[in-house]
Amino acid sequence: MIPPSFQYHAPSSVDDAISILTQYGDEAKILAGGHSLLPMMKLRFAEPEHLVDINNIDSLKGIREENGMIVIGAMTSESALIASALLQEKCPLLPEAAKLIADPQVRNRGTIGGDIAHGDPGNDHPALMLALDARFTLVGPNGSREVEASDFFLGTFYTALEADEIMTEIRIAPQAANTGASYHKLKRKTGDFATAAAAVVIEMSGDTCQSARISLTNLAATAFRATEAEAVLVGQTISDELIKQAAAKVMEACDPAEDLRGDAEYKTHMGGEMTRRAIKDAIKRAGGN
Amino acid sequence: MSAAEDTLERQDQLQGIGCSRKRKEDPRFIQGKGNYVDDVKLPGMLCGAIVRSPFAHAKIVSINKEKALALPGVHAVITADDLKPLGLHWMPTLAGDTQAVLADEKVAFQQQEVAMVVADDRYIAADGAELVEVEYEVLPALVDPHKAMDDDAPIIRDDLVGKDEAGQGKRTHNNHIFTWDVGDKDATDRAFDNAEVTVREEILNPRVHPSPLETCGCVASFDKINGALTVYITSQAPHIVRTVITLLSGIAESKVRVISPDIGGGFGNKVGVYPGYVVAIVSSIVLGRPVKWIESRIDNISTTAFARDYHGIGELAADKNGVIKALRFSALADHGAFNAHAQPTKWPAGLFSICTGSYDIPVAYARVDGVYTNKAPGGVAYRCSFRVTEAVYLIERMIDVLAQKLDIDKAEIRRRNFIKAEQFPYQSALGWEYDSGNYLPALEKVLEACDYEGLRKEQAEKRAKGELMGIGLCTFTEIVGAGPSKACDVLGVGMFDSCEIRVHPTGSAIARMGTITQGQGHQTTYAQIIASELGLSSDDIQIEEGDTDTAPYGLGTYGSRSTPVGGAATAMAARTIRAKAQKIAAHLLEVSPDDVEWDVDRFQVKGNPDAVKTMKEVAWAAYNNVPEGMEMGLETVNYYDPPNFTYPFGIYLCVVDIDRHTGETSIRRFYALDDCGNRINPMIIEGQIHGGLNEAFAVAMGQLISFDEDGNLQGNSLMDYFIPTFVETPHWETDYTVTPSPHHPLGAKGVAESPHVGGIPCFSNAVIDAFAHKGVTHVNMPHTAFNVWKTIHQLGLDN
Ligand SMILES: Cc1cc2nc3c(=O)[nH]c(=O)nc-3n(C[C@H](O)[C@H](O)[C@H](O)COP(=O)(O)OP(=O)(O)OC[C@H]3O[C@@H](n4cnc5c(N)ncnc54)[C@H](O)[C@@H]3O)c2cc1C
């Protein structure tokens, strides 16, 4: 449980961080909250020779509104997401879901950017980002680019980030009128990753679903959007039967790996069950029934 | 103030037996001021890190130390070949087997100890361990104990090939360790042949691991000048460790000092002697410097002392009214690669024969076969007396199975079978003499407190609506406090325990015991016993344990033996002191000893309340004015060999609600009535009950040490291995009755393991009861959401 030796860098600007990353290439790793990276280093699964700690870069922290968008610094901690009045009002899904991540110790240090950048299908933010249609700002030696959440998650521990890039910001549109969102997560105990979890954002007009985004955690090699399930709902009058059909579509899309949380059959069923619960909650919150 | 009030006030001031005083140790622990083994830092101390096997079963082709030795700061790399000249590459186990200290030519379980790197600090040691190159030739692994005795099973123990004995009687296969049986087989078989009703069910106690907060470790320090060895160690039995060290090393026992400082929980995990200790000691002797070895959490879960792994079949024979006529049981016990079962030496299945439980069962027969597999060695009694959890699980599950078969209520069937109050002392079919018990009133008390009838009604209504609710009962009897030396020994040392008390001139005292607290609150409980016996305030009584240079020899703390044995020694020692004090008091009062009587904290001349000498006054006199011919001083030591075990009992009731879509369980209510005889500190008892119930909940609902087919351990960190936090832990309601032990000087029995032993079957019974209306009589632990869902899904209840 002791990592091999490494060299520690603590730059105070994004530019400095990028120049260190450029200098050491694959031998360097960004250190954010450390709650995914350090366990891997202690088990010697990850053995970076250079750690670039970006906790001193103040510009990467905080939550603000800019041009009608919510902008979250990548180094914002889970605890800060939970405490944010802005998010509670304009993007309540995020603080609600962040409360279900790990435990207070982890949430005090773990960051939203690290949670996304890690590319772990068991992490909760990837599915939330898909459901919220988020965009990420990635800054590298050649400047900055924007990537949509739907283009970001390429495989387990594999994302659109280059080794010399830093995720600086996450952009999310405030929750629209007549819209409800919900995240349902089944876990074995507090502090555990999801056995299965579903994020749902639904816009309603009376009893009719105008639009829906459904995404799933830990049910395939990456977080994914269940577009066929969404299609079942959109334009329809919502009924229990319809919700069941949408959940069944989610189950068809699941391809989970067996582990001690359960086998593929159980996890798939739980994907369906979490979806059913999240849809119901989201509709209620959108003002439907 | 009346005389009665005065007496009460003086009694209260002592904070003695019966007082819920706060624990003396808490200020230290709450402020982080404990002193654990890993807090010990000696000048020049080195650190050891163990190189472990990645494979469950493999030949060691070669070990190359060169790169590790070349790393600056590495002092030694020790392998079996280095231990061989000392004869220390293998060591005896408590169960009569031998265990490889470091893998000798082969490894037989994943994470087995292969080498130790000793370096300046733990960081260099860890880097060094990574540099040791071990070449393996992988062998087929044996994981399933049911396949252990197949003709073509891989042989785990090449060292035993051709030997028809592995320390516990005759064996019949290369992977067979022992056969143990008890009871009258023929009479039992006859009872089954003639029975009106019989039931049979699988009884599995899966492999789990007791997980104390503090992992195992030691600091060994050999003084080359004096040839003396000091070992700080996480041990529940430091005195036995000292004897073992002497037997292994040849160092005179007087030159070996073993110190168990504060221990962060044991639960059986810290009873054994582990390879890491042995290698740290050898390294210190060889290098002449102190050597520390501390387990990581993964090391702890993977290698030191698992528990259970009992794969059994239980059977009951009864009449149509549910009155039990006979019990039969057979099991395979998976002991892993070495039989390091922690047990009194001659008891291969521990005290399993308590399995007739709280019921008057005329005849019984049980048989256990131990087998080797490619898993870590053990097992230990996880917060229970030796194999008592397995025994109680058997009978408490089987009586439910019988009730279901006969459609008799699960409380009613227990009433019909209980041993009656007037039958005590009760001779069980399997040879025990239960000291005392009074089961029926305790059961009625619990049923009433929980409105059992109302719960059953609610359950029927819920079932009609397709909802799942279960009610579990467990009415258990334990056997604790090993034990009478005529029956129990460890490596030939009888299982007595001891207490030495010294009363100082100004009337405070220090007492030392052969037991060792690991969180049980001995410093408080023992002081309360002495306070009541000697009439001195428990605040002024200092308790010390765990240093073999100062404490009298004792067998340690496990199997709920501290109060039954150590507590009895403490009372007896105090009484010896009081008898001497009485003579001194009489001398001071100028009357004959027969003319004074004891009154809380003083001696009084009979019939003359004004003629008194307090214990404090007597203590002073003991050092300057004693009767002619009497030795000065006020101290004694008592070695107490108990005449019998103690038999605490409990009545538990659990109500569980199950989410039929996810399989999640929610414990709505858990009511635990315990009877441990006379209660010394009710608050400590309640704390112990809470802790034991937490661990019972953990075992029943989530803990499992599981392996894939290659013998890879799955889930060896706390991410997967279930330790409930306060979020998961149910609310516990506790209650008690008092049925004193007739043979214990204080009428007390052990208690801290009861909740674990009784809790586990209670949870299982509750979960299975939720499915009883669908004909389910059995589901294996642990009752995780996944496992419960499988039952739900099979029955189609999730639609
Ligand atoms: C006990 C425990 C339970 C947990 N349970 C959950 C859970 O239920 N749900 C959940 O979602 N997570 C869980 N986690 C993970 C936790 O949320 C982590 O904090 C998170 O996954 C990673 O964020 P971090 O800030 O700690 O990143 P780090 O661990 O520091 O980094 C993770 C990876 O992302 C890279 N990285 C970090 N920040 C950036 C950036 N700005 N730009 C580019 N790359 C970057 C790092 O180089 C590294 O590869 C748990 C962790 C623990 C220890």
The DSSP output letter for B567 is I
Other C-beta atoms within 10 Å of B226: how many?
8
B683 phi/psi in degrees, rounded to 5 = -70, -40
B236 is catalytic: yes
The residues, ordered by sequence, that sit 6+ positions from B140 with a Cβ below 8 Å of its Cβ are B57, B154
Percent of chain A scoring above 90 in pLDDT: 99
The answer to whether the peptide bond before residue B483 is cis (omega within 30 degrees of 0) is yes
Which structure tokens are listed for B441? 């009133």
Q: Tell me which residue has its CA closest to atom 38 in ligand 1.
A: A114
Return the residue of B nearest to A258 by Cα: B786
Task: Please list, in sequence order, all residues whose beta carbon lies within 8 angstroms of the beta carbon of residue A89, skipping any fewer than 6 positions away.
Answer: none
Q: Is the CB of A114 under 6 A from ligand 1?
A: yes
Q: Spell out a b/e string for B58-96, using b for 16 or more CB atoms within 10 Å of the CB, else e.
A: bebeebebeebeebeebbbbbbbebbeeeebbbbbbbbb
- Please report the number of interchain residue pairs, chain A to chain B, with beta-carbon separation below 8 angstroms: 53
Q: Minimal Cα distance from A192: which residue of B?
A: B719
Eight-class DSSP state of A172: E
Dihedral of CA A230/A232/A238/A243: which sign? Answer: negative
Buried b (16+ CB within 10 A) or exposed e, B727-744: ebebebebbbbebbbebb
Q: How far is the CA of A57 from the centre of ligand 1 (A)?
A: 17
Cα B471 from Cα B592, distance rounded (Å): 63
Domains of chain B with CATH codes = 3-34+497-640 (3.30.365.10), 37-139+215-263+271-303 (3.90.1170.50), 306-482+644-794 (3.30.365.10)
Nearest CB to B786; choose among A5, A189, A266: A266
With helix as H, strand as E and coil as C, how does A76-118 read?
CEHHHHHHCHHHHHHCCHHHHHHCCCCCHHHHHHCEHHHHHHC
Q: Please name the residue of chain B whose CA is at the shortest distance from the CA of residue A268.
A: B662
Residue showing tokens 């009665």: B4
Asked whether A164 lines ligand 1 (CB < 6 A), one says no
Q: Point out the catalytic residue in the list B110, B111, B236, B604.
A: B236
CA of A120, closest atom in ligand 1? 21
Which atom of ligand 1 is nearest the CA belonging to A75?
41
The rounded distance, in Å, linking the Cα atoms of B400 and B653 is 13
Tokens of B81: 């070949």
Do the Cβ atoms of B786 and A262 come within 8 Å? yes
Q: Is A32 in the pocket of ligand 1 (CB under 6 A)?
A: yes
Q: Which of B213, B75, B769 is nearest to B473 (CA)?
A: B769
Name the token pair of B40: 């010990």
User: Pairing state of beta strands B306-318 and B197-208?
Assistant: antiparallel
| Among the listed residues B687, B658, B690, the one whose alpha carbon sits nearest the alpha carbon of residue B766 | B658
Q: Across the beta sheet with B733-736, what order do the strands follow?
A: B468-477, B649-658, B665-675, B733-736
Classify B603 as helix, strand or coil.
strand
H helical segments located in B288-409: 297-303, 388-406
Tens digit of pLDDT for each residue in A86-95? Answer: 999 999 999 9
Quick: pLDDT tens for B140-181. Answer: 999 999 999 999 999 999 999 999 999 899 999 999 999 999
Q: Which of B798, B461, B546 is nearest to A247 (CA)?
A: B798
CB-CB under 8 Å, A188 with B785: yes
Residue A236 structure tokens: 């329809």
**Pocket residue to mutate for ligand 1, from A36, A61, A82, most atoms within 8 A of Cβ:** A36
pTM: 0.97
Report all structural domains of chain A as residue ranges with CATH numbers, in order of start: 7-53 (3.30.43.10), 58-172 (3.30.465.10), 179-285 (3.30.390.50)
> How many CA atoms are closer than 13 Å to the CA of B712, on its beta-carbon side?
6
What gap in Å lies between CA B746 and CA B680, rounded to an integer?
A: 9
Active site residue B753: yes
- Rounded to whole angstroms, how far apart are CA atoms B568 and B575? 11
Determine whether B384 is an active site residue: yes
Active-site residue B216, yes or no?
no
Residue B147 burial (10 A CB sphere; 0-12, 13-18, 19+): middle
Which ligand 1 atom lies nearest to the CA of residue A187?
Answer: 8
Residue nearest to atom 50 of ligand 1 (CA): A102
Contacting A with CB below 8 Å, chain B residues are 122-123, 126-127, 130, 296-298, 661-664, 702, 706, 714-715, 719-720, 722, 724-725, 727-728, 784-786, 789-790, 793, 798
Kindly report the protein residue whose alpha carbon is nearest to atom 3 of ligand 1.
Answer: A102
Which residue carries 């060094």 as its tokens?
Answer: B128
Q: Tell me, what DSSP letter sits at residue B593?
A: G
Ligand 1 centroid–CA A101 distance in Å is: 11
Chain A hits for B793, CB-CB cut-off 8 Å, are: 269
Q: Which backbone phi and psi does B613 adopt, to 5 degrees?
A: -135, 125
Cβ separation B789–A266 shorter than 8 A: yes
Of A44, A195, A260, the CB nearest to B720: A260
Name residue B634's amino acid: L
Peptide bond into B425 cis (omega under 30): yes
d(CA B166, CA A180): 68
Query: What are the φ and ψ backbone dihedral angles of B579, each rounded to 5 degrees?
Result: -65, -40
List, for residues A139-198, the tens digit of each pLDDT value.
999 999 999 999 999 999 999 999 999 999 999 999 999 999 999 999 999 999 999 999
Among the listed residues A34, A31, A74, the one whose alpha carbon sits nearest the alpha carbon of residue A50: A31
What are the angstrom distances between the C-alpha of B93 and each of A89, A135, B304, B641? Answer: 64, 62, 13, 24
Q: What is the CA radius of gyration of chain A?
A: 19
Dist. CA A250–CA A214, nearest whole Å: 9
Phi and psi at A6, nearest 5°, equal -150, 165
User: Distance between CA atoms of B783 and B767, rounded to whole angstroms?
Assistant: 8
What confidence score (pLDDT) does residue B644 get?
Answer: 97
CB B537 within 8 A of CB B650: no
Yes or no: say if B236 and B559 are a contact pair by the CB < 8 Å rule. no
Position A288 pLDDT exceeds 70: no
Spatial separation of the C-alpha atoms in residues B631 and B646, rounded to whole Å: 36
Strands in B351-456 per DSSP E: 363-371, 378-380, 426-427, 433-434
Tokens 């949430």 -> residue: A107
Tokens of A110: 């773990």
Q: How many residues does chain A have?
A: 289
- Which of helix, strand or coil describes residue B458? helix
Nearest CA-CA partner of B220 in B249, B195, B262: B249
Question: pLDDT per residue over A270-286, tens digit each?
Answer: 999 999 999 999 999 99
* pLDDT for position B346: 81
Residues of chain A neighbouring B786 (CB-CB closer than 8 A) = 195, 261-263, 266
Directed axis angle between helix B568-589 and helix B522-534, to 10°?
30
- The owner of tokens 């019990």 is B327
Q: Which two tokens stand for residue B571?
A: 């009372």
pLDDT in tens, B46-84: 999 999 999 999 999 999 999 999 999 999 999 999 999
Residue among A44, A189, A260 whose CB faces B714 most closely: A260
* Mean pLDDT, chain B cut into blocks of 10 residues (799 residues total): 90 97 95 97 98 98 98 98 96 94 98 98 97 98 98 97 92 97 98 98 97 97 96 97 94 98 96 96 97 97 95 98 98 97 88 97 98 95 95 98 98 98 98 98 98 98 97 98 91 94 98 97 98 98 98 96 97 98 98 97 96 98 97 98 98 98 98 98 98 98 97 94 95 98 98 97 98 98 98 96
Structure tokens belonging to residue B172: 């019949």
- Could you tell me if B574 and B500 are in contact, meaning their C-beta atoms sit under 8 angstroms apart? no
